[in-house]
Amino acid sequence: MLFSSNIFIFVFLPIVILLYYTIFRFKFKNLFLLVSSLIFYGWGEPKFIIIMIMSIFMNYIFGLLVDKFREDKSKAKSILIFSMTLNIVVLFIFKYLSFTIYNINMYGGYNLNVPSITLPIGISFFTFQAISYVVDVYRNDGKVQKNLFNVALYIAFFPQLVAGPIVKYSTVDYEINNRKETFKDFSNGVWRFIIGLSKKVLISNTMAVIADAAFSNIYSGISVSFAWLGAIAYTLQIFYDFSGYSDMAIGLGLMFGFHFEENFNYPYISQNVSEFWRRWHISLGKWFKEYVYFPLGGSRVKSNDRKIINLFVVWILTGIWHGASWTFVLWGLMYFLLITVEKFSGFDKRPCKKIWINHLYTLLAVIIGWVIFRSNTISEAGMYLKSMIGIGANGLVDNVTIMYIKENIIFFITGILFSMPVIDYITKKIKRKKIYAILEFSSSIIVFILFIICITYLVKNTYNPFIYFNF
């Protein structure tokens, strides 16, 4: 079930909110949200609920065992390592086994049977949250949950279940049993949900049409201008797709009293690649930093070689996390190289004094990265990048590029403009209370109008699945 679907907006969500705030407000509210989340997850593929329930029960037991043997550090650590290994094995089987066997056959000369395994939606997200639960209990960053249903709610809560943000257990540990729903949080949640819906339906989906047209025609040949237009369109598409989903998830969490951390902070204004990754998919970056990078020693290790190895491990895992494809591996390696150079040269802390050069370098690196990320194969990515510099391209400018620009110029301008903190800047500049009140009232009207426009798009069925559902 998609957040940007009629069944979710007009049926599922209203029913859940109504029942939550009437029948289940003061009793069994966690159980009700859990049941609602299982219905949400199982709407399209009910069989995958079994996988998630197994993950929940398995990690619930591990959490109890880690807490029970807390005083015996060696035994508790062994349980932790075993739990993480088992979680990763399950993730590997569903997400990477077919890819691994295929490559063994391809490069090893074997003829092993390649199993056809359907990827459960959101398995990377809920597996990482399950690992977070056991690790945080082990570290005493969160209290162990004796109630199985509370662990299940943390892992399966529908707002962040299938595409994040990845919620660390320690951030919602207290709110699982002690949250306070308020009208202010609920109204802010509705506002945030509509903003996210608008990002997805109005901008991301429009950009998707252009990006798909460019990338799908790479073998037949495209012009230099259309190659760049498609790459820029995808750069906007993936940002508004994923940040839009995160906005909706955070908004839904607020409606039920949960406060999730932000997942994006205007990444396209970054002055270097290191800064970009502090602003993009923040929850994933923090997860790898706290559960992989720091345990390896982080940047505090004495040897530079060890620092490089630590960065390599994090970024190769970041690439692989996104999918079983060599393009994701290459994408991760690209960022490993760029960030390693930035850190050892000091560029991440002392960028060029000419800010526009920093922005240009960062955006160019990010766009190239998204071309690799979007492509089906490395050779396809190579062909696309060649087209961007004129090698094998069908001319410099063509009518297709002009047509797409004319038809979508407003969406491009809007997408570029609001990828920067324009609203934040205006709000900070307005200090007079009366003007601020007018702005606040006007924004409410604008958000309502955006919601109506989004509904008209949804009625016409002009929406796409979220990109990060695949991960």
> What does the angle CA 85 – CA 87 – CA 89 come to, to the nearest 5 degrees?
65
C-alpha closest to that of 448 among 231, 225, 190:
190
- 370 with 227: CB under 8 angstroms? no
Identify the pLDDT of residue 262: 92
**Of 432, 470, 462, 471, nearest to 200 (Cα)?**
462
DSSP state, residue 434: H
Handedness of CA 153, 159, 165, 171 (dihedral sign): negative
Size (the chain), residues: 471
Give the closest residue to 138 by CA, choosing from 66, 82, 85, 68: 66
The pTM assigned to this predicted structure is 0.91
At 148 the pLDDT is: 93
pLDDT computed for residue 469 by the predictor: 59
Find the radius of gyration of the CA atoms of the chain.
Answer: 23
Average pLDDT value for residue range 67-86: 92
CB 8 within 8 A of CB 127: no
Q: Is the pLDDT of residue 169 over 70?
A: yes
Q: What integer pLDDT is reported at residue 468 of this predicted model?
A: 60
Task: Report how far residue 206's alpha carbon sits from residue 244's, in angstroms, rounded to the nearest whole number.
Answer: 14
How far from each other are the two terminal CA atoms of the chain, in whole angstroms?
16
- With tokens 């989340």, the residue in question is 37
Q: What contacts 447, CB < 8 A, 6 or more positions away?
A: 191, 194, 195
Q: Which structure tokens are listed for 453? A: 């426009």
Q: Find out whether 468 and 200 touch, Cβ atoms under 8 Å.
A: no
Angle at 387 between CA 381 and CA 388, to 5 degrees: 90
CA–CA dist 77, 84 (Å, integer) = 11
Cα separation, 230 vs 213, whole angstroms: 8
- The reply to whether 359 belongs to the active site is no
Distance, CA of 254 to CA of 466 (rounded, Å): 21
Confidence of residue 291 (pLDDT cuts 50, 70, 90): very high
Average pLDDT over every residue of 255-271: 94
The per-residue pLDDT of the chain, averaged, comes to: 90
Instruction: Find the DSSP H helices in 346-432.
Output: 355-374, 378-388, 399-417, 422-429
Give the residue among 66, 68, 55 at the shortest CA–CA distance from 134: 66
Q: Is 120 helix (H, G, I), strand (E, B) or coil?
A: coil
Predicted confidence (pLDDT) per residue in 97-136, tens digit: 999 999 999 888 888 888 888 888 888 889 999 999 999 9
Catalytic residue among 259, 281, 322, 359: 322
Q: What is the pLDDT of residues 314-355, one digit of tens each?
A: 999 999 999 889 999 999 999 999 999 999 888 888 877 788
